[in-house]
């Protein structure tokens, strides 16, 4: 029960990594609120509340966090997981596609952190985990907007960590490598194979392997950890 009694909000929790995080946190004793723009794809491992949340909408963030505080009295953990991916190179990237990527993968993280920090500062305690990517630290051809957004999440996390370290708020980022999720499994299998083949462990990860990293960073076991980047990537970034 590593999160016993903690109130945790996880975005993008209908499937994939977010779904695994929500289920694991519930089994570890947290009061879990799983947020997404769609309903869960399957049952969670534990008792989980679900809410609808479009992370690009400022007013939805404000009302969601306010409702959680009214019901539970606090917000201890935020996992900013909601995200999309696209592969257009810079010269073929349309403005509407750039704006959509930045809105979901970067602005969504900003809005979530802002609302959570406003609550956590009053508590003088809290943990935020932002899901970045190996592409937030390294690059491959194409995927310009995704690289931009995930790189921003990496530095936004560090900035928030430094800004609020003295107020009991910890902020860290997790950088998954290739993970088998509905999102990645729907991609071109040749593209997936290239990433897996260049991963030293020669396999893709499972959502639960990311969830356990989030569990550590959200728990009191990580009480001296802030501004860190946790790579869970089968060794990819060590090359």
Catalytic status, residue 146: yes
User: Which residue is catalytic, options 44, 87, 146, 236?
Assistant: 146
Q: What is the 3-state secondary structure (H, E, C) of the chain?
A: CCCCCCEEEEECCCCHHHHHHHHHHHHCCCEEEEEECCCCCCCCCCCEEEEECCCCCHHHHHHHHHHHHHHHCCCCEEEECCCCCCCCCHHHCCHHHHHHHHHHHHHHHHHHHHHHHHHHHHHCCEEEEEECCHHHCCCCCCCHHHHHHHHHHHHHHHHHHHHHHHHCEEEEEEEECCECCHHHHCCCHHHHHHHHHCCCCCCCECHHHHHHHHHHHHCHHHCCCCCCEEEECCCHHHC
Residues designated catalytic: 146
């Amino acid at each position: 029960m590593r999160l016993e009694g903690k109130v945790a909000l996880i975005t993008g929790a209908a499937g994939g990594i977010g779904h695994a995080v929500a289920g694991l946190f519930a089994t570890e004793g947290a009061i879990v609120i799983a947020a997404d723009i769609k309903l869960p794809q399957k049952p969670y491992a534990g008792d989980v509340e679900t809410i609808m949340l479009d992370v690009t909408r400022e007013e939805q963030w404000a009302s969601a966090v306010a409702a959680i505080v009214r019901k539970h009295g606090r917000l201890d953990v935020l996992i900013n997981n909601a995200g999309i991916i696209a592969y257009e190179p810079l010269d073929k990237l349309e403005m509407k596609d750039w704006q959509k990527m930045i809105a979901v993968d970067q602005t969504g993280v900003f809005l979530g952190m802002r609302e959570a920090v406003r609550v956590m500062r009053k508590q003088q305690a809290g943990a935020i985990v932002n899901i970045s990517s190996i592409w937030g630290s390294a690059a491959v051809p194409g995927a310009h907007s995704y690289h931009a957004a995930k790189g921003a999440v990496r530095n936004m996390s560090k900035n928030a960590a430094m800004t609020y370290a003295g107020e009991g708020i910890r902020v860290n980022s997790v950088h998954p490598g290739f993970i088998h999720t509905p999102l990645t499994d729907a991609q071109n299998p040749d593209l997936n194979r290239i990433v897996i083949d260049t991963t030293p462990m020669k396999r893709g990860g499972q959502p639960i392997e990311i969830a356990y990293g989030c569990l550590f960073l959200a728990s009191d076991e990580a009480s001296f950890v802030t501004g860190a980047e946790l790579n869970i990537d089968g060794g990819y970034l060590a090359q």
